[in-house]
Amino acid sequence: MKRSGLYLLCCALLPLLLGACSGFSVPDLDEAVRRENLVPEQWKPLKLSVGLAPVVADLELDAKKFNVEDTRRWVLTPDEARLNGAENSLQALFLQTLSRYRMFERVELIRGATSKSSMEELRALALAQGLDVVLRPVVRRSDVGYVGTNAAYGWNLALWLVLSPINSWWVADEDFDAFLECDLGLYSTASGAPLKLKRIKPEKPVIKAFDDWDHGFHLFAIFAVPGYFDHENWEKVGSRLMPLAEHETKKETLRFITREVGPAVSGDAFQDGIRRRVGLFIGVDGNGQSGVPLTRFAGADARALAQRLPSMTQEGLVRKASLAVTGEAATRQGVQAALDKLTPLARANDDFFLGYSGVGTLTPEGKPAVLLSRRGGGYEAVALEALVDLALAGNPRTLVLALDCSFISPADGRCAVSAELLAAIQNAPPESLLQPLVERCRKAGSECVILSATGAVPGPGTPEHALELEDLGQGLFTSFLLDGLGGAANTDGVAGVSLEELARYLGPNIERISGFDNKPQKPWLAASPARRSFLLPSAEKKPAER
């Protein structure tokens, strides 16, 4: 009777015990993506260039405390190989997942970045690669813990007591959990500002049942788990559970991109956040020889613009993408090289600032031109429209021209036009020679804003001087332009300077100062219809200045 009863008990327990066997196979990610519709059927890669930063660990749980004082939880502090570089590192996990499921048009590692790189360093490196955003993962939790016994424990204890402890060693009657949580941050390479932040964690903890062999054998494990655990036991638990936690991390990353980042990317706030404002500022002083007037402060103008516009608190330029090319370096080849660096950074959502301070003239066809330095000495005249075409190579959203020179005033120190060249416009209508540039930009797919020291308007009595003043150490126009953008023209004190605000500030002040020398100067501002509300860089006014 005893034997038959024992036999019946074993038969009753067998299905339960077989069902209690442990299993740690990682689910198929493709199947999970299809089943949970993590990537919509009509999904198209987001129009973003993403630089994946090295993964860093900033754990919320203190390993020194938990791994010494707490017998039920163990913090798995990730080393550098676990974080980055290795084939199975967390960085590789993110890169492979984002690439495999085509989350973005372009995603790549940030060259030269390390886990010790600051956010500013990451931004600069990513910008140099022409990337729109930095994706930075930060590990916040990486730990495993003991949850407790499960439904198989009571039957397993009976098996241990009635039959033999040996039979109980293969029954998964103890539950353990794993937490792998990361903060994913999308940061603009233009400003460093956070665009999207998300804690990536599974909807529910990863919990699995373990038998005695899974976590490390102990003769009396059924009574002692997890009290006898040491480092090796917990690492063994982690090695079995973390691949499952990584699987959940991949799923949640895809869910974050498709359901939160995707809808946000096309919005104005996101596009404003990633908009890059880059600039090239050229300064060429005349030497007073061979019909070229003597000027002194064109180079200073260009350097001041390149240095100060990135420091503006509103709508400022990207500091690493604001360059000045001056003096002998401002040859056609030097300007082309600088543009080759910058134009890839100014694409359809971005604004390109092209500034020229120096000596203006006309082409034989009567179009505005500027003097660039020539290799070996001297100057060459380059049509302004040719420089505009080069600046439009990346198809920027907006081209902003800032011109501190004169084109049709031969008596002016910043103009080298000859009587022969002026003859080409003697019958021209009294309309600005700069206006066609607006339409030229629009035909190329970009909008245009022009800020000019003069209007280049043919006709007698037109104030076409572009003065530079000794006591200012700059061109008159550039000096007041910087003052206006620095806050003087910012009448509301909170947003960037509008064209209307700038015009109200520049006109009266420049006309007043130029009148002292009896050389009237009247600035000229224009914009394509879509950019009449364009906001220029500005320093925010302090409350006392408003």
Checking if the pLDDT of 447 tops 90, the result is yes
d(CA 316, CA 279): 10
Give the tokens for residue 408: 């049709």
Q: What share of the chain is helix, strand, coil (3-state, %, to 5)?
A: 40, 25, 35
State the amino acid at position 177 in one-letter form. Answer: D
Task: Measure the CA dihedral 353/358/361/363, to 10°.
Answer: -50
CATH number of the domain where residue 361 is located: 3.40.50.1460
CB half-sphere exposure, 350, CA atoms < 13 A: 30
Please say whether the beta carbons of 64 and 281 come within 8 A: no
Checking if the pLDDT of 170 tops 70, the result is no
Burial of 7 from C-beta contacts in 10 A (0-12 / 13-18 / 19+): exposed
State the amino acid at position 6 in one-letter form. Answer: L
Q: Which domain holds residue 87?
A: 42-270
The mean-pLDDT minimum among 21-25, 438-442, 521-525, 540-544 falls in 540-544
d(CA 173, CA 222): 8
Is residue 52 assigned to a domain? yes
Q: What is the DSSP string of 68-120?
A: HH-SSEEE----HHHHTTSTTSHHHHHHHHHHHTT-EEEEEE-TT--TT--HH
CATH number of the domain where residue 122 is located: 3.40.50.10610
What is the pLDDT at residue 163? 57
d(CA 318, CA 275): 10
Same domain, 333 and 202: no
Task: Measure the CA dihedral 383/386/390/396, to 10°.
Answer: 100
Instruction: Give 318-359 pLDDT, tens digit per residue.
Output: 988 999 999 999 999 999 999 999 999 999 999 999 999 999
What is the pLDDT at residue 29? 95
What is the pLDDT at residue 100? 97
Same domain, 265 and 311: no
Checking if the pLDDT of 95 tops 80, the result is yes
d(CA 8, CA 114): 63
Checking if the pLDDT of 165 tops 70, the result is no
Same domain, 155 and 80: yes
Residue carrying the six token digits 């997942």:
97
Same domain, 188 and 266: yes
What is the pLDDT at residue 271? 94
Q: Which of 223, 238, 270 is the C-terminal boundary of a domain?
A: 270
**Distance between first and last Cα of the chain:** 99
Bond preceding residue 226 cis, omega within 30 of 0: yes
Please say whether the beta carbons of 275 and 350 come within 8 A: yes
Same domain, 191 and 296: no
Please say whether the beta carbons of 306 and 356 come within 8 A: no
- Give the pairing of strands 133-149 and 56-57: parallel
Same domain, 241 and 369: no
CB half-sphere exposure, 170, CA atoms < 13 A: 9
What is the pLDDT at residue 173? 64
Checking if the pLDDT of 544 tops 80, the result is no
What is the pLDDT at residue 205? 87
Please say whether the beta carbons of 327 and 299 come within 8 A: yes
The pLDDT of 512-518, averaged and rounded, is: 84
Handedness of CA 57, 58, 61, 63 (dihedral sign): positive
Same domain, 148 and 288: no
d(CA 425, CA 434): 13
Is residue 32 assigned to a domain? no
Instruction: Give 111-122 pLDDT, tens digit per residue.
Output: 999 999 999 999
Same domain, 397 and 536: yes
Is residue 260 assigned to a domain? yes
Checking if the pLDDT of 145 tops 60, the result is yes
Task: Measure the CA dihedral 493/495/496/497, to 10°.
Answer: -50
Give the tokens for residue 55: 């993964």
Is residue 34 assigned to a domain? no
What is the pLDDT at residue 23? 63
The mean-pLDDT minimum among 399-408, 448-457, 486-495 falls in 486-495
The count of structural domains within the chain is: 2
* Mean pLDDT (the chain, rounded): 88
Q: Which of 210, 239, 270 is the C-terminal boundary of a domain?
A: 270
The mean-pLDDT minimum among 2-6, 59-63, 357-361 falls in 2-6
410 or 172, greater pLDDT: 410
Same domain, 181 and 288: no
Is residue 25 assigned to a domain? no
The mean-pLDDT minimum among 90-94, 170-174, 455-459 falls in 170-174
Is residue 15 assigned to a domain? no
- With b for 16 or more beta-carbon neighbours within 10 A and e for fewer, the 219-248 pattern comes to eebbeebbeebeeebbebbbebbbbbbbbb
Checking if the pLDDT of 2 tops 50, the result is no
Instruction: Give 194-235 pLDDT, tens digit per residue.
Output: 999 999 999 888 998 887 666 555 545 554 567 567 778 889
CA distances for 113 relative to 137, 152, 195, 342, 384, angstroms:
13, 50, 20, 21, 39
The pLDDT of 417-446, averaged and rounded, is: 94
Give the tokens for residue 368: 């505005």
The mean-pLDDT minimum among 69-78, 258-267, 309-318, 415-424 falls in 69-78
Same domain, 165 and 311: no
Q: Which helix (H) or strand (E) holds 526?
A: strand 524-527
Give the tokens for residue 516: 């002292």
Same domain, 281 and 163: no
Q: What is the DSSP string of 422-441?
A: HGGGTT--SS-TTHHHHHHH
- With b for 16 or more beta-carbon neighbours within 10 A and e for fewer, the 489-519 pattern comes to bbeeeeebbbbebbbebbeebbeebbeeeeb
Is residue 200 assigned to a domain? yes
Checking if the pLDDT of 463 tops 80, the result is no
What is the pLDDT at residue 395? 95
Is residue 28 assigned to a domain? no
Same domain, 159 and 142: yes
> DSSP 3-state assignment of 250?
helix
Q: Which of 270, 286, 303 is the C-terminal boundary of a domain?
A: 270
pLDDT category, 459, cuts 50, 70, 90? confident
